[in-house]
Amino acid sequence: MSKNSKKRIMIVDDAMFTRNILKKIIDNTDYSEVVGEAANGNEAIELYKKLKPDLVTMDLVMPVKGGIETIEDIIKMDKTALIVVVSALGQEALVLEAAKKGAKDFIQKPFKNEQVLDVIKRILLK
């Protein structure tokens, strides 16, 4: 797959550790690459406008602006946005709320590489 036909992914998570792990997993594929990272909802919205990524991974619990509000704002801007929630155990209510707002799927932390790739492939390569 040529460099420019790779799917472009933006990672939104306030934990750099999580962003780094996701970036490694995603950049290791031959069909996707990370084009941007944001540590909170406001950064995510600005970056989304600039980058127009094919998919966004979204943490739900972040400072400044949380994932639910950010999902709402991105979907308002772009009805076709593909957002996958990345959330910790015990956040089921938030995950359901995110799905109502337009998130397409979710990945549970702590995640396994295969789980991340399965979800991303399912959403991006349908």
The residue count of the chain comes to: 126
How many domains does the chain fold into? 1
Residue range of the domain that includes 49: 6-120
What's 65's domain CATH number? 3.40.50.2300
Indicate the pTM of the whole model: 0.94
pLDDT value of residue 4: 63
Number of Cβ within 10 Å of residue 4's Cβ equals 6
96 within domain boundaries:
yes
Confidence of residue 91 (pLDDT cuts 50, 70, 90): confident
Q: Has residue 1 been placed in a domain?
A: no
pLDDT (mean) for 69-94:
94
Is residue 110 domain-resident?
A: yes
pLDDT at 14 over 80: yes
The answer as to whether 46 is a domain residue is yes
User: Is residue 125 one of the residues assigned to a domain?
Assistant: no
Residue 126 lies in a domain: no
- The predicted pLDDT at position 3 comes to 52
Q: Is residue 101 part of a domain?
A: yes
Say what the pLDDT of residue 2 is. Answer: 47
pLDDT tier, 18 (very low <50, low <70, confident <90, very high otherwise): very high
Residues 6+ apart with CB under 8 A from 98: 58, 60, 67, 68, 71, 83, 85, 87, 106
